[in-house]
Structure 1
């Protein structure tokens, strides 16, 4: 019975074991994450909407356009959700927060000597 329990515990450890490379990879992805992988933003033209319908110039019959600012969130199935720490949708705004890049860069800088040693060892 004890051997069976030890075996199950060993299997469990294998399943949750994180290799140092996995941790470094996560910090690298955080440090070099690009906000444009998560949102698109800018300005675009859109038709002005009146009280009941879109507005049209009476003389030219062309739509009246205006430049508006926009922020579009990318679909969550296409992004690395582990790097986002917060997404919020308010009444008048959208917020997205990524994991702290400075902390990730500090971690990588502190451990860069280990990265260099590991790279040299893997090349040998």
Structure 2
């Protein structure tokens, strides 16, 4: 049997237990324009029930890849990447130290 709370039995510090009294989130959509509405109920700091409506627009993302990039993905893997799955998009990181040299040393100014 599930214990039901009465409003007088809850302490002021038991705000996380009040989520039991809230209705579940409702999701409407997506409609023909790709708009979805999510309605959630929460309890704010004052102990009042607040309705939060979030509107989300879903859209399809089209990624264009050059023919050369598609061709490079078909190349045979080598080195440490050869041991990985063929479909993984693994980028290998080099652990060797790379030193950069400035083309000109910074000029130090002296006061006269």
TM-score (norm 1): 0.19
Structure scoring higher RCO (CA < 8 A, sep ≥ 6) equals 1
Larger Rg computed on CA atoms: 2
More helix, by proportion: 1
TM-score (norm 2): 0.21
More strand, by proportion: 1
